[in-house]
Amino acid sequence: MTGIEILLLTAFGGVLFTCFTGRISSSLRNIAAVILSIVLVVLVALLYDKNGETVFYRGFFGIPMVLRINTLSWFFAIAISTLGCLSVIFSLGYMRDRKNTSFYYSMLLLVNSAMLGVVFSGDMFSFFIFWEIMSWSTFLLISYNRGPAVGAGLKYIIMSIIGSMAMLAGIISLYTVYGTLNIADLSHLVLSSSTPGHQIFLLIIFGFAFGIKNAVVPLHTWLPDVYTEAPSPFSAVIAGMLTRMGVYGFLLIIYVILGAARSLHTGTIPGFNHILAWLGAITIVIPTFIAMLQNDAKRLLAWSGIGQGGYMILGIAFGTNLGVAGGIFHTLNHAIYIVLLFMSVAAVQYRTGGVRDLNSLGGLIKKMPVAFFGALIGICGLIGVPLTNGFVSKWMIFKTLITGGAPFLAFAALIGSWGTILAAYKLLHNMFLGQLPERFSNTRQSPFSMKLPMIVLSFTILLFGILPGLPLKVINNIVVSFGFGSLDVSLWGIVSETGMLNTINLFAVILAGLAVVWLFFRIGARAVPVNQSDNYAAGAAVPGDRYNYTVKFYDPLTRTISPYLRDIIDSLYQKIAVFTGCVCNGIRKIYTGYIGNYIMYIVLFVSLIIIVQMVWSPW
């Protein structure tokens, strides 16, 4: 039994075990879930720098089902298990007084296990099976809250099934053409004997499946509802890793199976990549601008999450070593800060009794300092402020685009970044800054189980921002395994052909600057702490409880741009869905349930056939 088999057995066995202990006692189940998720992190960490594959089942029509591990799968696996673990810990507090928690925990762990299965799959068949387990268990958990959540879940699963069917068609086509589904074998076979036509078919059909999962515009419409309606710690998992399985899929099809970096630069792949890059650019710009119009904290994060997905696609599709590395790094970074942001919003939601409407919150900074700090670091990462991880990966992507001679793609990426500032500041301001409304004056701090994951994640964001070499060394190995040239990565920076980035210098300078300014500030006279109502109001009395500016925060801009930013695609899909519903309803009316009617159908059909035979005699 190899390490991966033990890992997956533990993961899936643990799901059953958690479900079982839930019958006995809920605290026992909580402990089991936490320990299990920590064990998974340790097991994945132990597999570092291992390569290999094992056949774990031969029974299915003689297709061997294979598990394999390499740097790419390890990289995704460690992110999945760590973020999953933090999410489980966060759920301890968040889910405390809810019903059906056994179901919640086992589904959360099942989603994580299925994602681990996806990244460790060595053949497309087991990939598909784990992919389906992942989609279905996600669907069940999205609908956990009932009400509008059921609709969101349905939307998700319908789009997911469409994607899966496309993927199944692709897998069948791979099997009929090459006679194997093993990914390692496929990558050799495709490289030596594929036709451009088949390549483009594979790219489009798999691109469709993974594009739905990664929410690339115009396949993004499931995402805002799902992120908003799912239980918040699970929203974090969906936003952090589950959506990014699409990125893993794109890497798998473009760079592993089709081997784009090695020899197919002359085939159809550059054309596909070009279109994909532009889709990525559109995915950055439009959702980011939609994000700043949102008034629901989770929905705002959801739309900015779609936008961030665009950066990953853009980096990966551009197809240079710096760009692909940037895309992969951004996947990790995005996972870290979006999980942190969802946790921060969830903490506020938990303490304010489920409020996530940005118009009614405000001034929570003094009540929930840790959540504020988490949100602050999180939005800094989201924007890409220097010294956070998001900056490094964005720098890599911009650098690639500019030196690669694509200034318009770079423009889309940069302007998306500036749009993110508006959305992110609105989130931070409307929740934590400004005046505290009277009804939240008794809000307490978040419990320790919520603070711990937030602190860990904030620390990681700064760590990867100051020493980006830690993850970049692993990412460099991935990029090299695709067949690209190696990047010149040191612990604190990147040297590319046309300029470098040195984050430790940046860190030292900002630290020194802070010290100088702080000293200067200390020289001045002391300031007197005052109450929030002790404010300058131009001579008028400060009105209690309503002296806040949150509603219509960007009204002048909103009025200008909102007519252009309706989700046309979503309403198109809705219309298609309604139309399909009508057609199916019409068909259903045929089945009346009376035997006589069915006999009449048969008689009519037979007589129609007889008439056809008598008149044209085709048979």
CB nearer to another protein: pick between 305 and 434: 434
Binding piece for another protein, criterion CB under 8 A, among 77-85, 303-311, 413-421, 454-462:
413-421
Residues 92-151 that bind another protein (CB under 8 A): none
Minimum distance from residue 438 beta carbon to another protein (Å): 13
Binding piece for another protein, criterion CB under 8 A, among 97-105, 171-179, 324-332, 420-428:
420-428
* φ, ψ (nearest 5 deg) of residue 231: -60, 140
CB nearer to another protein: pick between 538 and 584: 538
* Distance spanning both ends of the chain, measured CA to CA: 62
**Quick one: which of 514, 576, 578, 611 contacts another protein (CB under 8 A)?**
514
Three-state secondary structure call for residue 66:
strand
Q: Is 558 left (phi over 0), alpha (psi -120 to 50) or beta?
A: alpha
Minimum distance from residue 556 beta carbon to another protein (Å): 4
Residues 445-504 that bind another protein (CB under 8 A): 493, 498-502
Minimum distance from residue 513 beta carbon to another protein (Å): 3
Concatenating the DSSP letter of every residue in 76-138 gives HHHHHHHHHHHHHHHHHHHTTT-S-HHHHHHHHHHHHHHHHHHHHBSBHHHHHHHHHHHHHHH
Nearest to 67 by CA among 138, 116, 25: 116
Please say whether the dihedral angle defined by the alpha carbons of residues 241, 304, 161 and 103, taken in this order, is positive or negative: positive
CB nearer to another protein: pick between 562 and 597: 562
Contact, 203 vs 257, CB < 8 A? no
* C-alpha to C-alpha distance for 397 and 330, rounded to whole angstroms: 9
**Quick one: which of 42, 165, 517, 611 contacts another protein (CB under 8 A)?**
517
429 binds another protein (CB under 8 A): yes
399 binds another protein (CB under 8 A): yes
Pair type for strands 493-496 and 52-57: unpaired
61 binds another protein (CB under 8 A): no
* C-alpha to C-alpha distance for 337 and 326, rounded to whole angstroms: 16
* φ, ψ (nearest 5 deg) of residue 246: -60, -40
* C-alpha to C-alpha distance for 245 and 253, rounded to whole angstroms: 12
CB nearer to another protein: pick between 355 and 542: 542
Number of Cβ atoms within 10 Å of the Cβ of 573: 18
**Quick one: which of 1, 527, 587, 614 contacts another protein (CB under 8 A)?**
527
544 binds another protein (CB under 8 A): no
Nearest to 17 by CA among 94, 93, 137, 109: 109
548 binds another protein (CB under 8 A): yes
CB nearer to another protein: pick between 82 and 388: 388
**Quick one: which of 560, 597, 607, 613 contacts another protein (CB under 8 A)?**
560
Minimum distance from residue 476 beta carbon to another protein (Å): 20
**Quick one: which of 523, 584, 590, 615 contacts another protein (CB under 8 A)?**
523
**Quick one: which of 208, 391, 464, 482 contacts another protein (CB under 8 A)?**
391
**Quick one: which of 263, 441, 505, 597 contacts another protein (CB under 8 A)?**
505
List the 488-490 sheet strands across, edge first.
Answer: 488-490, 493-496, 499-502
The structure tokens listed for 491 are 């612990």
Binding piece for another protein, criterion CB under 8 A, among 275-283, 343-351, 532-540, 591-599:
532-540
CB nearer to another protein: pick between 180 and 558: 558
Contact, 358 vs 431, CB < 8 A? yes
Nearest to 292 by CA among 434, 384, 427: 427
Nearest to 339 by CA among 396, 268, 389: 389
- Residues 330-369 as x/- pattern, contact with another protein by CB under 8 A: ---------------------------------x-xx--x
Helix (H) or strand (E) holding 493, with range, is: strand 493-496
Minimum distance from residue 454 beta carbon to another protein (Å): 16
Contact, 492 vs 469, CB < 8 A? yes
**Quick one: which of 418, 459, 591, 601 contacts another protein (CB under 8 A)?**
418
Residues 297-326 that bind another protein (CB under 8 A): none
CB nearer to another protein: pick between 3 and 369: 369
439 binds another protein (CB under 8 A): no
Residues 176-195 that bind another protein (CB under 8 A): none
Three-state secondary structure call for residue 552:
coil
CB nearer to another protein: pick between 197 and 405: 405
Cα within 13 Å of Cα(448), Cβ side: 0
581 binds another protein (CB under 8 A): no
Concatenating the DSSP letter of every residue in 169-197 gives HHHHHHHHHHS--BHHHHHHHHHHS--HH
CB nearer to another protein: pick between 222 and 553: 553
